[in-house]
Structure 1
């Protein structure tokens, strides 16, 4: 088959590499220009570089505009394969090839459509995550499913570890999907849209800790926002502080959400629902980083007590 690839960052590069390693011909690679924004700078392995190394024609663009559509038409693909493409693709484009357009999405659709699905899956307490290959349609991540691979979310896993594990599913899923198309065994499973969950793109505000959450949720939140992602943060004595590592307390505490207690070998923050009942676990913060980039032991940093707050006081 003749394939046109749309992709960006490490996800797009790994997908293009899988296409190159298949028995098919990649006739065009469409990718976004490199950028310095914080979002584009994460997992920024170059699709363009890999395509040029293999003599594949490259088209750099921010969106699927008229020029892009014309180039794809002239490439005469049998299928378009997409992974990590930022902008809308019109029906004129995704319906163009005989086999349509396959999109790779790193969640178990219909759950966690939208953005940062692996991080949201961990934050939400899901037991598993994975990778779905589906046919693109008029909505975001809602098309019929062709291939779906699952992985458990291990206890103590970080968001970064899960993202990397999910990327390792890409080659197998791509090869399985292409084989199903070429040998006529493709089975398309419609998504139950009543089960769909959608999550928005994360911003700085979404990394701020909400001390009304249960400690179990907060501990997952800290693990999910591991480097290179923006870290979980709060404010302490007027200063923004990133929470790099934390555990759940063994003891139970009562008081006010965000109140710092120096116990259990670290700074324990009383949190969770109904804190006045004195029966909630606390988040034991073991490592923090201040605005100057310096890391500190949690117990030593919070030795003065006080409160962690939503904003500087």
Structure 2
């Protein structure tokens, strides 16, 4: 069997050249970034981790090197401040539909463009692991927020340490706060737990201690005795 075209949509593995060669009219991949930026693995997550304001989808020919073949088409997507990896992926799905509606007829008519990618102008990122979600409280609040939204549900989550184990932070927002040691709790209100960062502060909204149920941050603070002066991070539950 020799298909006219071969398409790869978010397939995790490299396809052997012998398989690519089966499609005489082209083997094409849909990648979740604006190539040549964010070549490689987990582009949706990396875009958010790095605080980008725009991404998109790219249709390109497949070659032996990952995400390096000729570019057929792209569709940009704005990244909103409140986007998570899940909501951004949904936006990219819609953009992919638009791109394919535009490109497939051109491919069938042999009129689709293909321009070389300048890989020297791009970036490449590898896969992510659960431990990559560890929070460093010396970072700016905005950077920590970007990490949280990049790995919140359905991904493994951003986390810090508390009480001898992980404290997962499923949602939070950067806020203004008093100058204090990074990782120190500066306030506990019904709106959440405010934690000092290297610059600014973060209001924790939904959190989870280990494998316990997720709770509003204020509720878990009452249960666990988290209060002003509590330290989160490698130092644990110091006060």
8 Å Cα contact 1:119-1:224 kept in structure 2: yes
TM-score by length of 1: 0.69
The root-mean-square deviation of aligned C-alpha atoms, in Å, is 1.9
Match of 1:309 in 2: 233
Aligned partner of residue 166 in structure 2, secondary structure: strand
For 2:55, which of 125, 129, 134 is the aligned residue?
A: 129
Question: What pairs with 1:52-71 in structure 2 (closer than 5 Å)?
Answer: none
Q: Is the 8 A contact 1:260 1:307 kept in 2?
A: yes
Confirm whether residue 250 of structure 1 aligns to residue 201 of structure 2: no
Aligned-partner Cα distance in 2 for 1:294–1:86:
32
CA deviation digits over 1:84-129, x for unaligned, max 9?
Answer: 2222222222133222200011111111111111111011111111
Cα distance in 2 between the residues matched to 1:86 and 1:153: 24
Matches within 5 A, 1:1-313: 75-255=1-181, 257-263=182-188, 265-272=191-198, 280-300=199-219, 301=221, 302-303=226-227, 305-310=229-234
Aligned to 1:111, the other structure's residue is in SS state coil
Conserved 8 A contact 2:130-2:157: no
Cα distance, 1:150–1:311 mapped onto 2, change above 3 Å: farther
Mapped to 2, the partners of 1:131 and 1:310 lie a distance apart of: 38
Is the alpha carbon distance of 1:171 and 1:311 closer, same or farther for their aligned partners in structure 2, counting shifts above 3 Å? farther
Q: CA deviation at 1:260?
A: 1.8
Name 1:35's counterpart in structure 2. Answer: none
Alignment correspondent of 1:30:
none
Instruction: Determine helix, strand or coil for the equivalent of 2:91.
Output: helix
Segment of structure 1 superposing worse, 152-161 or 301-310: 301-310
> Aligned equivalents of 1:212 and 1:190: distance in 2?
41
Tell me how far apart the structure 2 counterparts of residues 219 and 171 of structure 1 sit (CA, whole Å): 30
Q: Which runs of 4+ in 1 moved over 6 A?
A: none
Listed as ranges, the gaps of 5+ residues in structure 2 are none
Distance 1:115 1:254 in 2: 37
Range with bigger deviation, 300-309 or 190-199: 300-309
Counterpart contact for 2:184–2:232, Cα < 8 Å: yes
Q: Distance in 2 between matches of 1:282 and 1:312?
A: 18
The alignment partner of 1:184 has SS state of: coil
Q: CA 1:200–1:312 in 2, change beyond 3 Å: closer, same or farther?
A: farther
Q: Any idea what SS the aligned residue of 1:307 has?
A: coil
- The 8 Å contact of residues 219 and 246 in structure 1, kept in 2 or not, is answered as yes
Aligned-residue offset at 1:150: 0.8
